[in-house]
Amino acid sequence: MTSKGLNTLREARQLSVDLSELLRDPGTSKRFEFTDDLEGLSLDMGRVDPALAFELVLESLVEGILVRGKVAGTYVLGCIRCLRSFERPFELELSEVLSYPDQPGAEEGYQITGDLADLEPVVRDAVLLAMPVNPLHAPDCKGLCPVCGSDRNETDCGHEAARVDLRWEPLEELKQRLSTPGSAPGAERTN
């Protein structure tokens, strides 16, 4: 990537909203509806499609600006059973306060710097926190065959019967033990 490309990316990451009408004017509020790209949000289980849509109300408080509203977008996830990639739309509620830097404890939370509210940290935290931890592409995903590795949602490889439901494994072991020669019904004492 060229250095120009990097700069463009860095500017695009700045998910910022003009606060000039709201700053230090408690009680005023302003509605924002916009779409913006936020690149590079990913975790082990998937990533966030950069295109996000926002419907926000920013409200001026004594201690800062309250950001309330919705962010909508799409997660691109990897199914934990069959490993296929799939998309899942999401819509999340946001409600966070951006504090003025002179407020006590402001450095521990989200902060206002200048006339622009950088919403990227707020959005990044909310969207990553809500990402499904064990994503399944469908609730009844059959997963991959443990014998041949084929996708059991797509093909019936015939290994189905070899697979034992883990809950029945203790019973399966018992059955095996009972059917070994030493404990076969013929050798059993009946008194």
Kindly list the residues in this chain that would bind Zn ion in the complex (CB under 5 A). 79, 81-82, 137, 141, 145, 147-148, 157, 159
CB 147 within 8 A of CB 157: yes
Shortest approach of Zn ion to residue 54 CB, angstroms?
Answer: 31
Residue 82: both structure tokens together: 């069959």
Shortest approach of Zn ion to residue 140 CB, angstroms?
Answer: 9
Shortest approach of Zn ion to residue 77 CB, angstroms?
Answer: 10
Q: What is the largest CA-CA distance in the chain?
A: 94
Residue 154 identity = E
Nearer to Zn ion, 47 or 81 (CB): 81
Question: 60-84 b/e with 16+ CB inside 10 Å = b?
Answer: bbeebbbbebebebebebebebbee
- 32/102 Cα distance (integer angstroms): 26
Shortest approach of Zn ion to residue 76 CB, angstroms?
Answer: 14
Nearer to Zn ion, 57 or 138 (CB): 138
Nearer to Zn ion, 41 or 82 (CB): 82
139-127-49 Cα angle (round to 5): 75
Nearer to Zn ion, 161 or 187 (CB): 161
